[in-house]
């Protein structure tokens, strides 16, 4: 399909997430990857995990230490707060509404845990964004962005937090757009996305109709966005909240070996 003649994006696939265990036995919901939605379908995105726990087991950040290389990790905290220690540096605190970005590059260890002030309640997303082959040996680094420094855009019936994109202090090696979108009941959301980008929407709360064909998508489902430019979403009878990720695909082989993507 010629992107020059396609203005409004549709939805190519709707997939269900599933529950798995991560780290020290923590149950998380995984919308990506699944048998239905593969990383190649949403390149440059590799993984999306959603931890929504009313009482996450308390443990020290170092107890969950593990290693990564070859991609960037964004941890976005919706509720509660998280402590994370990247490499040999100090523990970093990620508050509600804030995020942490780690460029794993040539390799780094990190370990996250609920902070003392979270009372065990944690609701957070973790997003893996692949690095282009030319960037995989870059030195690792980390950045924490406070909630107050994430720009918000009010557009009609929707409130958009720009985690990565215009006005955001967070920069990725890969051109990308990451949005936390809240839409009032029966309200509409529209956003322009560069025609070269591809990606997905993951519904956190409520349900809605996505894209030019008004594809129904409900909470915990992921929708792969098709070619075009703009994306329009209409919320259902209750308020809708979803996470939108779109980025420039690398179109390179994904060499995935557990926590390493070379």
Q: Give the domain ranges of the chain.
A: 3-261
Backbone angles phi, psi at 147, to 5 degrees: -55, -40
Angstrom distance (rounded) from CA 115 to CA 113: 6
> Mind listing the pLDDT tens digit for each residue in 71-127?
999 999 999 998 888 887 788 899 999 999 999 999 998 876 667 655 667 899 999
Q: How many CB atoms lie within 10 A of CB 254?
A: 17
Banded pLDDT at 198 (limits 50, 70, 90): very high
Report the candidate in 126, 69, 132 with the shortest Cα–Cα distance to residue 100: 126
Beta bridge partners of 86: 110
Sheet arrangement for strand 152-155: 11-16, 221-225, 198-205, 240-247, 176-183, 158-164, 152-155
> What's CA 167's distance to the chain center, in Å?
18
> Mind listing the pLDDT tens digit for each residue in 33-75?
999 999 999 999 999 999 988 766 555 444 567 899 999 999 9
Cα distances (Å, whole numbers) of residue 238 to 150, 205, 208, 215: 25, 9, 9, 17
pLDDT-wise least confident of 7-21, 22-36, 154-168: 22-36
Angstrom distance (rounded) from CA 57 to CA 101: 23
For residue 22, the model assigns a pLDDT of 81
For residue 85, the model assigns a pLDDT of 84
In terms of Cβ atoms closer than 10 Å to its own Cβ (0-12, 13-18, 19+), residue 208 is buried
Which top CATH class is 3-261? mainly beta
Q: What is the DSSP letter of 132?
A: P
Q: Is residue 139 within a helix (H) or strand (E), and if so which, with residue range?
A: none
């Amino acid at each position: 399909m010629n992107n020059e003649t396609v203005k409004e994006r549709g939805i190519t696939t709707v997939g269900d997430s599933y529950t798995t265990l991560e780290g020290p036995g923590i149950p998380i919901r995984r919308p990506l990857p699944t048998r239905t939605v593969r990383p190649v379908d949403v390149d440059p995105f590799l993984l999306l995990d959603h931890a929504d726990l009313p009482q996450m087991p308390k443990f020290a950040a170092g107890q969950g230490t593990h290693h990564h290389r070859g991609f960037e990790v964004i941890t976005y905290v919706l509720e509660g707060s998280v402590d994370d220690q990247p490499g040999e540096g100090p523990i970093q605190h990620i508050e509600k509404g804030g995020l942490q970005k780690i460029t794993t590059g040539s390799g780094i260890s990190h370990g996250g845990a609920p902070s003392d002030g979270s009372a065990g309640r944690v609701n957070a997303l973790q997003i893996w964004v692949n690095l282009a082959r030319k960037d995989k040996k870059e030195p690792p680094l980390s950045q924490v962005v406070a909630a107050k420094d994430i720009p918000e855009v009010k557009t009609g019936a929707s409130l958009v937090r720009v985690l990565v994109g215009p006005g955001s202090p967070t920069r990725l090696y890969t051109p990308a757009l990451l949005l936390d979108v809240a839409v009032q009941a029966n309200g509409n959301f529209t956003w322009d996305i560069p025609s070269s980008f591809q990606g997905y929407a993951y519904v956190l709360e409520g349900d809605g109709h996505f894209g030019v064909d008004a594809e129904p998508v409900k909470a915990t489902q992921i929708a792969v966005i098709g070619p075009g430019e703009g994306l329009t979403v209409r919320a259902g009878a209750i308020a809708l909240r979803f996470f939108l990720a779109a980025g420039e695909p690398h179109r390179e082989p994904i060499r995935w070996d557990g926590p390493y993507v070379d």
